[in-house]
Amino acid sequence: MRIGFGYDVHRFAEGCELWLGGIKIAHHKGLLGHSDADVVIHAICDALLGAAALGDIGKHFPDTDPKYKGIDSKILLAKTRDLLSEAGFTIQNIDTTIAIQVPKIAPYIELMRVTLSGLLTLDPGQVSVKATTTEKLGFEGREEGVSAYAVVLLEG
Ligand SMILES: [Zn+2]
């Protein structure tokens, strides 16, 4: 059994789409990044890579590489899944927390769980997604950005 932890932050910007957990969220602004800036998937990728001691998302998918510009982070998650299975690991469970003030994420949580578990060929019961506000404190509370935390357990 191996545990892994991931953390990611992206800033809000006008004219960007808001992608969280593989789902496009209706909002008047979105997150800025080299990829689609899906902070949830990035935290999960880092947790998975960390648990396997395979480095981090920046090592495998550098933001200096034009081929990752604007890429759907679901592709990065699928590539991370393949790296883990090549290394002989299987995922036992994933738990994530999104720190976001607005918009409300609750209506999207189940769709995120189904999407993420499908990509990872897991049961939705193995993938937890939670969201919290930060009580208007910090950069998330000021609606400047979104952070996400993920922990995973691997077998292998
Ligand atoms: Zn990121």
CA of 147 to the centre of ligand 1 (A): 9
3-state secondary structure of 153: strand
Residue 74 pLDDT: 98
CB contact at 8 A, 52 and 2 = yes
Residue 61 pLDDT: 95
CA of 76 to the centre of ligand 1 (A): 11
Considering the entire predicted model, what is its pTM? Answer: 0.98
Alpha helix segments (H runs only) across 1-125: 39-51, 57-60, 73-86, 109-119
Mean pLDDT (the chain) is 97
CB contact at 8 A, 113 and 105 = no
What are the tens digits of pLDDT across the range 100-147? 999 999 999 999 999 999 999 999 999 999 999 999 999 999 999 999
Note the Cα 136 to chain centre separation in Å.
22
Q: What are phi and psi of 155, to 5 degrees?
A: -115, 145
CA of 57 to the centre of ligand 1 (A): 8
Instruction: Categorize the per-residue pLDDT at 64 as very low, low, confident or very high, splitting at 50, 70 and 90.
Output: very high
CA of 35 to the centre of ligand 1 (A): 8
What are the tens digits of pLDDT across the range 5-41? 999 999 999 999 999 999 999 999 999 999 999 999 9
